[in-house]
């Protein structure tokens, strides 16, 4: 089911089965998606990491994720482009920038509880009904359905992550930091550079992350760089030195030392190993 507007804006709902799971690899520029699993035992490799997803798990994905479906038992895909609904321009409406999209070095997985499912199922049912409409309000209604779905996912994800259960001001600072890292990780590698952009001190950011009880703000930057490095090593033909330069490293030795410290092996060894496992 697909809506295509006059200005190339689109949204689609696709029932994913073993026969058509290749559609998960067809994301194009400026596209986002939500993948709702409707059966147990789905296995995907996302950015070289293996995941198993079960009934009612929901995953938010961007055009940048490299996906390989190794086992699909059942899922529903909602995919749209920026022209249809831009979450950055409408962040005040959905609040997912830096949470579900554009700010996560790990794949955000939403796990609705039993009490949430009636709302999700009703929203999806209305979404599908509107996909069949053909009046002059269809675009607005579909945007409304998508917005509702995103808000539901964002609320649940935040409630399940300790870092988003703090003071609202701290949550907004965390979201802003996450998003800025997503924008600038290729050229800005220090916490101070992001602190300056946020008009905060590095200590303020360190204290914020410490309250989360997880990684440091510097490790967050490193995780994002490593995610991109692994993607490029496996899914591009660029040399190790070209990848290092692309990620803001002054020379290949500096990049190789950084990669080995974070991954435990050299970039070249990682590339050769991953290519062998995917053949």
Q: What is the mean pLDDT of each run of 10 residues along the chain (279 residues)?
A: 89 94 83 95 92 96 89 96 91 87 83 92 94 88 94 92 75 90 94 96 91 84 94 92 95 95 94 77
Final residue belonging to a domain, choices 160, 188, 211: 160
Contacts of 101 (CB under 8 A, 6+ apart): 32, 60, 62, 87
Taken in order 22, 39, 97, 261, the sign of the CA dihedral is negative
Q: How many domains does the chain have?
A: 2
- The answer to whether residues 199 and 110 belong to one domain is no
pTM for the model stands at: 0.84
- The answer to whether residues 70 and 150 belong to one domain is yes
| C-alpha Rg value of the chain to the nearest Å | 20
- The answer to whether residues 73 and 131 belong to one domain is yes
- The answer to whether residues 138 and 189 belong to one domain is no
- The answer to whether residues 200 and 65 belong to one domain is no
CATH number at residue 23: 2.60.120.280
Final residue belonging to a domain, choices 160, 191, 224: 160
In terms of Cβ atoms closer than 10 Å to its own Cβ (0-12, 13-18, 19+), residue 204 is middle
Nearest to 230 by CA among 106, 146, 112, 141: 106
- Range of the structural domain that residue 190 is part of: 168-278
- The answer to whether residues 105 and 187 belong to one domain is no
Final residue belonging to a domain, choices 99, 126, 160: 160
- The answer to whether residues 176 and 114 belong to one domain is no
- The answer to whether residues 134 and 13 belong to one domain is yes
CATH number at residue 272: 1.10.10.60
Strand partners, 76: 15, 36
């Amino acid at each position: 089911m697909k809506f295509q507007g006059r200005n190339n804006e689109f949204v689609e709902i696709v029932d994913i089965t073993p026969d058509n799971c290749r559609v998960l690899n067809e994301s194009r520029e400026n596209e986002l998606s939500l993948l709702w699993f409707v059966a147990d035992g789905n296995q995907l490799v996302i950015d070289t990491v293996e995941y198993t997803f079960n009934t009612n798990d929901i995953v938010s994905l961007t055009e940048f994720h490299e996906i390989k479906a190794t086992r699909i038992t059942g899922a529903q895909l909602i995919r749209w482009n920026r022209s249809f609904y831009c979450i950055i321009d409408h962040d005040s409406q959905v609040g997912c920038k830096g949470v579900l999209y554009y700010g996560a070095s790990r794949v955000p997985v939403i796990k609705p509880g039993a009490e949430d499912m009636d709302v999700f199922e009703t929203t999806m049912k209305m979404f599908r009904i509107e996909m069949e409409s053909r009046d002059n309000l269809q675009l607005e209604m579909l945007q409304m359905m998508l917005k509702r779905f995103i808000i539901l996912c964002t609320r649940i994800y935040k409630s399940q992550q300790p870092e988003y259960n703090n003071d609202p001001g701290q949550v907004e600072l965390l979201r802003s930091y996450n998003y800025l890292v997503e924008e600038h990780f290729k050229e800005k590698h220090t916490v101070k550079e992001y602190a300056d952009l946020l008009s905060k001190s590095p200590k303020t950011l360190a204290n914020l992350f410490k309250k989360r009880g997880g990684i440091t703000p510097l490790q967050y930057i490193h995780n994002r760089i490593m995610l991109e490095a692994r993607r490029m090593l496996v899914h591009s033909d660029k040399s190790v030195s070209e990848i290092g330069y692309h990620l803001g490293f002054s020379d290949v030795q500096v990049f190789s030392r950084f990669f080995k410290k974070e991954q435990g092996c050299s970039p070249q060894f990682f590339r050769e190993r991953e290519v062998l496992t995917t053949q």
